[in-house]
Amino acid sequence: MNPEQLDDVVESWRELGIGFVGAPLPARGAPVDLERLIIRTAAGAADMARLFGMTAAWFHVYGDVVAKHRLRRLIRDELAPEFHPVLGLLLDTAQQGQHPQEFRTVIAEMRPAKVARPLFAVERRSVALSARVQRMASPVSRRWRLWRVDAPLKLKALHASQWLMERHPDFVVRADMRGDLRVSVLASLRFDEGAGQSELALARAAGGSRAQVRNALDNLEMTGRIRRLSAGARAGAGDRPVKPSAGPRNHNGTRIELLRFG
């Protein structure tokens, strides 16, 4: 990852409450696609140890808000395999000491590095530092075959939850739903182009089965967060809201619209 891309990742994490040094943040929070940010973080973490350590602390505290189904889908589709062990180690580090472990289902899909080596570029550059980290590597980093010396999570550079939730009302919803499939559906509708075109497209984007997504949509429609529109029969005829009284429905031609996420 080049330095500009890494700076962008750092800036997004500032917006989510990690206290990296930077220019004053705008008064209102800008929307952040959290799951895609995690993917970008995995690709850059080996080049910046503080990013790894601070995001591990963030995931430890705020792991509940991550949409796990969508994250799994993005790992499959958008994260190069070479970074899977980096993300595996990052999430595994964050969930150490947690019961139940927050990211167990996400981690299950990733595999350790093929060749064992230091996690961080700064240690890979030096034979002496490589040997040192190999000797001192934590058990969890050995499991991922990416050597890293364990360090306490630096919680003091994180904003409190109140700050995060005030800036990002969608994170209140994420936390209330504890990152379940409904959050993946909402996040996909907001951030994944074309996700609302059909139930099938949404299931693909959100990382759930069609039956699971339909179930999630029923709940989200009930609480007024989305609405389903049946596609017009003729081109240009527009969409009509699906009548709720219709009983068991065929949703094959249904378009889904996000009404509110926060």
d(CA 199, CA 213): 8
The residue (of 53 and 85) whose beta carbon lies closer to other proteins is: 53
In whole angstroms, the minimum distance from the beta carbon of 132 to other proteins comes to 6
Residues in region 50-69 near other proteins by CB under 8 A: 50-54
Work out which of 1, 12, 16, 17 binds other proteins, going by CB under 8 A.
17
Tokens of 32: 């952040």
156 touches other proteins by CB under 8 A: yes
Which one, of 136, 154, 187, lies nearest residue 31 by Cα? Answer: 187
Contact 98, 56 (CB under 8 A): no
Q: Which helix (H) or strand (E) holds 150?
A: none
Tokens of 112: 């350790």
Contact 136, 125 (CB under 8 A): no
Contact 89, 140 (CB under 8 A): yes
132 touches other proteins by CB under 8 A: yes
Identity of the residue numbered 147: W
Whether omega before 26 lies within 30 degrees of 0, making that bond cis, reads no
Residues in region 158-197 near other proteins by CB under 8 A: 158-160, 163
In whole angstroms, the minimum distance from the beta carbon of 62 to other proteins comes to 13
Q: Which stretch binds other proteins (CB under 8 A): 30-38, 87-95, 121-129, 200-208?
A: 121-129
Q: Which stretch binds other proteins (CB under 8 A): 47-55, 71-79, 207-215, 217-225?
A: 47-55
Residues that bind other proteins (CB under 8 A): 6-7, 10, 17-22, 24-25, 48-54, 119-120, 122-123, 125-129, 132-133, 136, 148-149, 151, 154-160, 163
